Amino acid sequence: MASEAAAAVDGEKKFALREVDEEVDGILINASGHVQELERNFNFWSICSVGIVTGNTWAAYGGGIVIALYNGGPPGMIYELLVVSFFYWLIAACIAELASAIPSSAGVYQWATVTAGPKWGKAAGFFAGWWNSFAWLFGATSINLILANQIIAMWGLFHPDYVFERWHGFIVYLIMAWVCVFTVMFGNRALPYISQLGLFLILAGVLVTILVCAIMPSTTGTGYASNSFVWSDWENQTGYTSDGFVFLAGMLNGAFAVGTPDCISHLAEEIPNPRRNIPRAIGAQMVVGLVTAFLYLIPLLYSINDPTAVFENPYTSPLAEIYRQATNSRGGALGLLLVIFMPTLCCCIGAYITAGRMLWALARDEAVPFSSFVKKINSWQKNPMNATAVTGIVATCLGCIYIGSATAFNAFAGSFVVLTTLSYLTAILPHLLTRRRYVTPGEFWMKDSVFNTVAGIACAYIAAFIVIYCFPYSLPVTAENMNYACLITGGLTIFVTGLWFWKRNRGYVGPPAFVDEGAAVVEGRNVVGISADKT
């Protein structure tokens, strides 16, 4: 009977959320239970801007349009985007609930630690945090390469004799990587304004592109694609015999564009009232992302009058050929590439912000090698400068892979989707299985029946599509079309497993998963939570 009573008490322990920041021995402790070390530079509008800019769905989807066209042609792109957006809206709702209840820059790392309970929480959080950290690093490098390809395509438009070599892309990739990294490192107070500028560029850019692609084909004499080409002519160029499977596999392209609902949560400790603002910002991000991507795709696809030229285009960015067909001029194509380049640059900056914050969140709980260096907050910029610099260095090393194999490097986009959804699953599934008993509700909290349905479908989607997204892109399988996402994900998981067995008894403390209201033990700059008996 005593053991049953103890189990019942243990089952009712919850994360006790602070309503406001509190001081413990003169040190400010934020709602997540950590020492408040970062400046609150962002407000609601700037945090919305970060989410929309980092997601930047229309630009990200446009950057990989040729790959997407193989999986069903234009109808595949449109319908795959709509279906995958439905599933990511469900995931976003679960993330918004956890972010409202536990506002922390650690994001899924801290949520998984809480929802998995005191027995499995530290291990679950460790894996979720590392999967998410690797994912955002790969996401940043993928957007980084899109930027580089856009720049080279602008050059190629006016140099017909130019022959692209991968080392050209690597040099431009490095330049853009460190432009973004230095912006994050040394422009901390300017980041909210950069994000707001990015939001303007995204909305203005998509409007300009829609108008040009909708109007110019009729005025330049090139004409529009047929309705059947855009809406119904299914084109399966993957080698798979099942069109249904091709449709499901093609959803990976949309998932890369829309699958960033957790990016806002990594700035939870840099905005006021995160319990309310983060769920609202996530909602704004998902709505704006889907609407702009859908409205962008329609006129873009109608402006394609020579599909063969798009597949065989000589430019590093296929959008260069599509825009050339839409405007019937190289100057017009250059203008539209500039329109998409600027918001993509802001998107890349946002991705490096998220990657650096996630690594820093792991380091402050001693989950990272050389944590004492990585977790330091720069006294001048008041930001995790060391962690951001590390992401830049790793991104530089990953760029070297591109010289050896573009296919292997491009697998980072697929790995981003697989690793982010794995980290989401690690937080959401325990939350569902334990009937949310470890989390005190935040301002956004779904009814039990609604949550069970939303989370159940979201978890089923993740479990099924993690496997589907690891299949080869086309048949027959060769080294050039192999999908290396499964190899990357498996290899990194083995690495994280080894790191867990090394770190778990060597200083790893984990985030403050169970914090008694108003109580915390301050050890230097770390705050260790105390389990609270809520019965």
Coil, strand or helix: which one is 96?
A: helix
Contact 127, 120 (CB under 8 A): no
pLDDT at 520: 37
> What's the distance, Cα to Cα, between the start and end of the chain in Å?
17
Q: Report the distance separating Cα 395 and Cα 184, nearest Å.
A: 14
pTM for this predicted structure:
0.89
Full 3-state SS string of 232-250: CCCEECCCCCCHHHHHHHH
Tens-binned pLDDT, residue by residue, of the chain (535 aa): 344 344 433 444 555 445 455 555 455 566 666 676 776 778 878 888 888 888 777 777 776 676 777 888 899 999 999 999 999 999 999 999 999 999 888 889 999 999 999 889 999 999 999 999 999 999 999 999 999 999 999 999 998 888 889 999 999 999 999 999 999 999 988 998 998 998 899 899 999 999 999 999 988 777 899 999 999 999 888 889 899 999 999 998 888 888 788 888 888 788 888 889 999 999 999 999 889 889 999 999 999 988 888 888 778 888 888 999 999 999 999 999 999 999 899 989 999 999 999 999 999 888 999 999 999 998 888 899 999 999 999 999 999 999 888 888 888 988 999 999 999 999 999 999 999 999 989 999 999 999 999 999 999 999 999 999 999 888 888 877 788 999 999 999 999 999 999 988 887 888 875 543 333 333 333 443 333 333 2
Cross-strand bridge partners of residue 236 = 71
Please, which residues have CB within 8 angstroms of residue 226's CB and are 6 or more apart in sequence? none
For 348, phi then psi, to 5°, come to -65, -40
For 445, the token pair is 């909290």
User: 203: how many CB neighbours lie within 10 A of its CB?
Assistant: 14
Q: Which domains does the chain have, with CATH numbers?
A: 43-505 (1.20.1740.10)
* DSSP character string of 258-322: H--TTTGGGGGGGSSSHHHHHHHHHHHHHHHHHHHHHHHHHHHHHT-S-HHHHHT-SSSSHHHHH
